[in-house]
Structure 1
C-alpha cells in the first residue's frame, strides 16, 4: 500500500504549502501530495507554484466539487498539474453537498451519482483519453441518454503531459459502483477500514465487472493525530472532521459503518468517529497499525490527513507527527 500526504490546511498563501511539498519531495515513503477542495486558492495553481519553487511532486485532489467547474475547465486544470509537475496526476471529483450544489447552481442535482459519473466521462472526453469500455450508456450511473448534466464540447487541443487519472469521491454503495464503472480511482474520506473492506471495495469491483473493465484503485484519506501530553483527541477529531460530520451524506455513510455521529452533539460525534476507527489517535506505532488495517482491507493508497493537528498546533508539530508515524511504519515492516 502506498502512503501519501494531504496538505493539512487550505492554503491562504501558496507558501503555506511549501513545507509539505518539501517533505514529500525528500521522503521516499510518500508517493503523492494531495489537496482538498479550496474556496481560496485554486489547487492547480498551488501545485504549479510548488513545481516552480523546485518541488514538482506528484499531485492529487480529493475531491474537487463539480458545481464549481465545467468538465473542460477540469480537464485543463488536470493536465496543467500533470504537465507542470512532470508527474502523473490523480484528480478526484464529487458532487459535494446539496447545499453546495444549491449555492453554485441554484438547484441540487436530482441524481448526484449520475451527475458525478457524467462529469468524469465528460472530463475524460475533453482530455481525449480512451477508457474501457467505450461509453455505451449501460449501467445505472448516467451514460448516454442520461439526464444531461454536462456537455463536454469535444476534446481540448492536444498538449503533451503525463497521465491524468480521474477519481471519484466515494462514500456510499451507489457512488462506489459508479466509480467502478467510470473512474480510475475511488477516493474515500473518513471511511473506516472495515467499511471500505465490506462495502466500498465490493461495490467498486461490482461496477467495474459490470462495465467490463479493471477495478479502479481505492484511495482512502485517513485523519490521524499522535497522542502527546496536553492533547485532546476529541478536539483534534472535531477540528479535523467536524465540518463533514454535520453533513447528511457523511453521517449516513458513517451510520452504515456502525458509527453514530449526532449532528447536534459535536463532541459525541467526534468521540464516535474515534471509537469507530474513522480517526486514528494514539502512539505512532498504534497509528501505523491502524494504517496497516487499511492495507489489509484492500486499500491501494492511504492519504495521511493531519488537519486537526495543524489547525491546533501548526506546521512544526504536524511534521513531527508525520515523521514519527512514518518511522513507526518502517519499524513495523522490519
Structure 2
C-alpha cells in the first residue's frame, strides 16, 4: 500500500501549499499530493503554480464535484495537471450533496450514481487517450451526452479518472468505469466488507481489472492538551452533517447524527474513521486499511493544521511516516 498526503487546508494563497509539496518531493514514502474540492482557489491552478515554482510532484484531486464543470472542461483541467507536473495525475469526481446539485444545476440528479458514471465516461471520451478503448454512450443522465466533444491531442502523462465512493452502488459503478475508487471517512472494516468487494464486483461485471481503491484517512498524533473529538470535528464536521455521509457511517457501525456534529465527531473517532493515538497506533490502523484491500491511503491532517498550524502538522506527519517506514504492506 502506498501513502500520500492531502494538502491539509483549503489554500487561501498558493504559497500555503508549498510546504506540503516540498514534503512530497523530498520524502520517498509519499507518492502523491492531493487536494479536495475548493470553492476558493481552483485545485488545478494551485497544482500548476506548484509545478511552476519547481515542485513538480504527482498530484490528485479528491474529489471534484461534477455540478461545477462540464466533461470537456474537466478533461482539459485533468490533462493540464498531468502535463504541467510531468507525472500521471489521478482526478476524482463525485456528485456532491443534493444541495450543491440543486444550487448549481437547478435540480438534483435523478440518479447521482448514474450521473457520475456518465460524467466519467464523457470526460474519458473528451480526453481520447490512445490507451483507452472507445467509450459507448450508455449513461443514464444525458446532460453529459458527449457526442462531438473531444479535445485536440496533446502529449501528456496518463490521466487516471476516479469516482468518489461511499456506498455499495457507487463502488460498483467505479468498478465498471473508473481507474480508481476514492473513499473518504470510511473505516477500514467497512472498506474491506463493502467497498472493495463492490468495486471488484463492478469490474467483473464489466470484464475489466479491479480499479485501485484509495482511502483518504483523517489522522492526528496524540499529544498533551489535544482532544481527538475536536480535531475530528475540524477535519470532518462539514461532512458529518450531510445525510449521505451519515448513512455510510451508520452502515459502517458508527452511530452518528447530522443534528449533533460534535457527538458525530466523537463517534467517528471511536468507530475508527479518524485515527488518533501514538504514531505506532496510527501505523497499526493503516495496516488495517491495507488488509481491507486499499492500494493507497491519503493522510489527512486537516484537523491538526486547522488548530495547530503547519509546523505541528509536519511534525505529526513525519512521526507517522517514521512509524510506517519498516512496514511491509
- TM-score normalised by the shorter chain: which range applies? over 0.9
1:57 is matched with which residue? 57
Superposed counterparts of 1:228-247, under 5 Å: 228-247=223-242
Question: How far apart, CA to CA, are the structure 2 residues paired with 1:316 and 1:228?
Answer: 14
2:175 is matched with which residue? 180
2:143 is aligned, of 138, 141, 149, to 149
Question: How far apart, CA to CA, are the structure 2 residues paired with 1:131 and 1:66?
Answer: 24
Superposed counterparts of 1:143-222, under 5 Å: 143-144=138-139, 146-152=140-146, 153-222=148-217
Q: CA deviation at 1:263?
A: 1.5
SS at match of 2:144: coil
Q: Deviations over 1:167-211 (max 9, x none)?
A: 000000110000000000000000001101010111100100111
Q: CA deviation at 1:154?
A: 2.4
Provide structure 1 residue ranges, at least 5 long, that are not aligned to the other structure: 138-142
SS at match of 1:224: strand
Residue 26 to residue 94, structure 1, CA distance change in 2 (3 Å) = same
1:140 is matched with which residue? none
Provide structure 2 residue ranges, at least 5 long, that are not aligned to the other structure: none
User: What root-mean-square deviation, in Å, do the aligned CA atoms of Structure 1 and Structure 2 show?
Assistant: 1.4
Question: How far apart, CA to CA, are the structure 1 residues paired with 2:160 and 2:322?
Answer: 29
1:252 is aligned, of 247, 252, 267, to 247
Superposed counterparts of 1:276-315, under 5 Å: 276-315=271-310
Report the TM-score when normalising by structure 1: 0.96
Q: How many residues align?
A: 328
Please state if 1:274 is matched with 2:269. Answer: yes
Query: Is the contact made by 1:4 and 1:30 (CA closer than 8 Å) also made in structure 2?
Result: yes
Residue 32 to residue 119, structure 1, CA distance change in 2 (3 Å) = same
Superposed counterparts of 1:42-191, under 5 Å: 42-129=42-129, 134-136=134-136, 143-144=138-139, 146-152=140-146, 153-191=148-186
Q: Which is further off, 127-136 or 306-315?
A: 127-136
Please state if 1:326 is matched with 2:298. Answer: no
Residue 150 to residue 333, structure 1, CA distance change in 2 (3 Å) = closer
SS at match of 1:126: helix
Query: Is the contact made by 1:224 and 1:281 (CA closer than 8 Å) also made in structure 2?
Result: yes
Question: How far apart, CA to CA, are the structure 2 residues paired with 1:266 and 1:45?
Answer: 32
Q: CA deviation at 1:293?
A: 0.8
